DNA sequence: ATTTGACCTTATAGTAACTATAATGTTTAG
DNA sequence: CTAAACATTATAGTTACTATAAGGTCAAAT
């Protein structure tokens, strides 16, 4: 039995975010005190902590809603969770690969850029490399 | 001298996105034909290709606007570009590190989850691991 | 008694970079 | 004549929040 500020402290989630979760029905509308303040109890802490942990594991709010909905219908979400976890491990591999690719391009751009003069015509400096793409092999700029 | 559809083809950017870029003033408002259609020329292709390349290098539209603005004032943006490139190379390192960390947690969660039963009380299955966080060492579940 | 401070409330808009939709107008070809 | 393939605008949706404004409630200190 406590107000939103306490729930925020207990769960480590801002009051703004708690209200947001309520708006999108990720959290149920809590009962209200006479003055209209939201009143929570321990089960709310549990639910919110679950959400927070799942967010830190990069589950989307949609994923989390699905998992919580299963729980509400007394269906064990374990296999759904395991599938999403496996899927995410794969996605992270792809994202890392993309980032490494991007980083390699940036590194190459940087190295080539170091060898080039500034020029306002944007013809022979790093800017022109952005426009035209990096050459396969750096041209001797002859 | 061509319409937005051609510009879209030449630059590889959708017409929607071209109009969007115009709205946020990343592209100048082009002149219009009698019927109100946008009319472009080769310099527009250049500018749009530059934007596209920079986007593929993960420059933000704000970054790109800044670079193009410098160019407009006849100031060479080379050093700005080089700084942003260097900065991004660093940021990608951080992001990769974060992703690897996240992936390790997911892998650990998955492995532990494999050893656990489904249960609707959410006490001893993978779901409870999400709520309470992964243990440092997997508990023997005694 | 009042005022200050720490709470709480709602509604609304902003973030990044698009993408999608609706409703409509123009031009060309069959 | 009409259907396709273009074009136009305005508006809303995406993700997960965060920020702001404008205000109501309550306890304590002055
Ligand atoms: Zn479970
Ligand atoms: Zn060159
Ligand atoms: Zn330059
Ligand atoms: Zn256990």
Tell me how far apart the alpha carbons of residues B22 and B89 are, in angstroms, rounded to a whole number: 29
Per-residue pLDDT of chain B (142 residues; tens, 9 = 90+): 999 999 999 999 999 999 999 999 999 999 999 999 999 999 999 999 999 999 999 999 999 999 999 888 888 888 889 999 999 999 999 999 999 999 999 999 999 888 887 776 667 788 887 877 766 544 444 4
With respect to CATH, is domain A4-75 assigned 1.10.3210.10? no
Q: Could you give phi then psi for residue A39, rounded to 5 degrees?
A: -120, 130
Mean pLDDT value of segment A25-33? 96
Tell me how far apart the alpha carbons of residues A45 and A26 are, in angstroms, rounded to a whole number: 13
pLDDT at B115: 86
pLDDT at A139 over 90: no
**CB of B37 under 7 A from strand D?**
yes
What are the chain A neighbours of B114 within 8 Å (beta carbons)? Answer: 82
Mean pLDDT value of segment A117-127? 74
pLDDT at A141 over 70: no
- E strand or H helix that includes residue A31: strand A31-32
Output the pTM of the full model.
0.85
Q: Give the confidence band of A135 by pLDDT, cuts at 50, 70, 90.
A: low
Mean pLDDT value of segment A116-131? 76
Tell me how far apart the alpha carbons of residues B53 and B68 are, in angstroms, rounded to a whole number: 13
Q: Which nucleotide is nearest to A16 (CA to C1')?
A: D18
DSSP string of A95-141, one letter each residue: HHHHHHHHHHHHHHHHHHHHTS---TTSSSSHHHHHHH---SS----
pLDDT at B5: 97
Nearest CA in chain B to A57: B102
Of the two residues A70 and B39, the one the predictor is more confident about is: B39
pLDDT at A142: 40
Q: Give the number of other Cβ atoms within 10 Å of residue A50's Cβ.
A: 21
CB contact under 8 A, A102 and B58: yes
**CB of B9 under 7 A from strand D?**
no
CB contact under 8 A, B103 and A126: no
pLDDT at B136: 59
Q: How many A-B residue pairs are in contact by the CB < 8 A criterion?
A: 137
Distance from CA of B38 to the nearest CA of A (A): 23
pLDDT at A110: 92
Using a CB–CB cutoff of 8 Å, tell me whether A119 touches chain B. yes
- Judged by CB atoms within 8 Å, which residues 82-101 of A form the interface with B? 82, 85-86, 88-89, 92-93, 95-96, 99-100
Q: pLDDT, tens digit, for every residue of A86-121?
A: 999 999 999 999 999 999 999 999 998 888 877 766
Which positions of strand D lie within 7 Å of protein CB atoms? 6-9, 15-20, 24-26
Give the rounded percent of residues in chain A with a pLDDT score beyond 90. Answer: 69
């Amino acid at each position: 039995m406590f107000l939103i500020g306490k729930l925020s402290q207990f769960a480590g989630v801002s009051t703004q975010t708690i209200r947001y979760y309520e708006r999108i029905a990720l959290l149920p509308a809590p009962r209200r005190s006479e003055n209209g303040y939201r009143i929570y109890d321990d089960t709310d802490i549990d639910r919110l902590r679950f959400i927070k942990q799942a967010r830190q594991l990069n589950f989307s709010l949609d994923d989390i809603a699905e998992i919580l909905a299963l729980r509400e219908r007394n269906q064990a979400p374990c296999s759904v969770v395991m599938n999403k976890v496996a899927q995410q491990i794969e996605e992270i591999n792809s994202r890392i690969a993309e980032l490494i690719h991007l980083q390699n391009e940036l590194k190459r751009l940087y190295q080539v850029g170091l060898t080039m003069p500034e020029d306002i015509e944007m013809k022979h400096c790093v800017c022109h490399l952005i426009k035209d793409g990096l050459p396969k092999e750096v041209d001797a700029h002859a």
